[in-house]
Chains A and B, each alone.
Chain A
Amino acid sequence: MQVEPLKLGSYIINNRLILGTGGAMSHETIAESIVASGTELVTVAIRRIKPTGSGQSLYDMLRELKVQILPNTAGCFTAKEAIVTAELAREALETNVIKLEVIADDRTLLPQPLELIDAAEELVSRGFFVLAYTNDDPIFGRNLQSVGVSAVMPLGAPIGTGLGIRNPHNISLMREIVTVPLVLDAGIGTASDAALAMELGCDAVLAATSITRADSPAVMARAISLAIEGGYLAHRAGRVPKRRLALASTPDEGRADL
């Protein structure tokens, strides 16, 4: 069994890891992580331009590596800010795909659902493919889907915490309720968290901090990419039911009478 391509808006990816570039020590670290993981899609923020001097810009580097660039609206607190940021991203990158983030406060960085859904609806009406970062609320995931988002991206835990998937049951329920692609976004700490996300039925995983701030980012990028593939296959392989008591895997038949 092979990993099938995944369509996210107008993007198609063969590798189910989306690499968030936030927190990386350098552009070189990002490049090494891209190569090591085989990711085909990386997220970026939209910020004021600074003269790059003699160094290569992030834009030029990502283009050279031939990865697809997914802009986000990180740092936006209102629908209005997020909409303008998405328009700026579309202008800068000539893409209609936007990872929509509208957060409630700096302390938790948790999504602000009321502003988020307004922004999602408006951006969809403006022709965007919206990939919406959201809380792990299955019903709200359905609400987002009903306003036309192209993917629902629930958090496993707050951004940057590395706490893993705090409520696997909710992610599992979201998988049952949401029919558009489901991407686990935020909270990944290490490879096993990413494997779990995929085993729960997520279509992809976005990992930033867990990779960019690992001691060896490229090694962690590879580890998480492999875990995602493992989880993808495991989800489709049909796991055994959990049992309370043992079930011998070795048959009794033919056992010596000792």
Chain B
Amino acid sequence: MENTTQQFAPETMNIWVNGEPKLISAGTSLDGLLDLLKLPKVGVAAALDAEVVHKRMWTETILAEGQRVEILTISQGG
């Protein structure tokens, strides 16, 4: 008998983006997330569970259920 998680083969997953919950398609990459959110990719940095993910790794970084994504840019500051 299949266990619960297999029974509901996840087509979507919940992640956290900048502290807000977000339901996205399973298999979405970090790069895909930025596309989905219509965010610029220049002047931007991303961290996954508090670890910086270099830009060259964005496409191959596939997000997983429950992960915390931080997408940052510059803002006013002394």
Contacts and interface: CB of A to CB of B under 8 A. Distances in A.
Contacts of B78: 20-23, 43, 45, 72, 74, 159, 186, 206, 208-209
Given A47-B75, A57-B73, 20 more contacts: A21-B76, A24-B76, A43-B77, A44-B74, A44-B77, A45-B75, A45-B76, A45-B77, A45-B78, A46-B74, A47-B77, A51-B37, A62-B74, A75-B77, A84-B47, A87-B52, A89-B45, A92-B73, A93-B74, A209-B78
B45 A91 contact: yes
Interface in B43-78: 43-47, 50, 52, 54-55, 70-78
Interface in B8-48: 18-19, 37-40, 42-47
Contacts of B43: 57, 59-60, 63, 92-93
Contacts of B47: 84, 88
A51 to B, nearest CB: 7
Contacts of B77: 20-22, 43-47, 72, 74-75
Chain A contact residues: helix, strand, loop or mixed: mixed
Contacts, number: 97
Nearest to A49: B73
Interface string A38-64: 000001111111010000011110110
Contacts of A189: none
A75 B72 CA distance: 14
Contacts of A63: 43
Nearest to B53: A91
A51 B17 CA distance: 13
Interface residues of A, number: 37
Nearest to B38: A51
A131 interface: no
A97 interface: no
A47 B52 contact: no
B50 A47 contact: no
Ranked nearest first, the 6 interchain pairs of A and B with the lowest CB-CB distance are A45-B77, A20-B78, A208-B78, A59-B43, A91-B45, A22-B78
A48 B76 contact: no
Contacts of A206: 78
A71 interface: yes
Contacts of B76: 21-24, 30, 44-45, 58
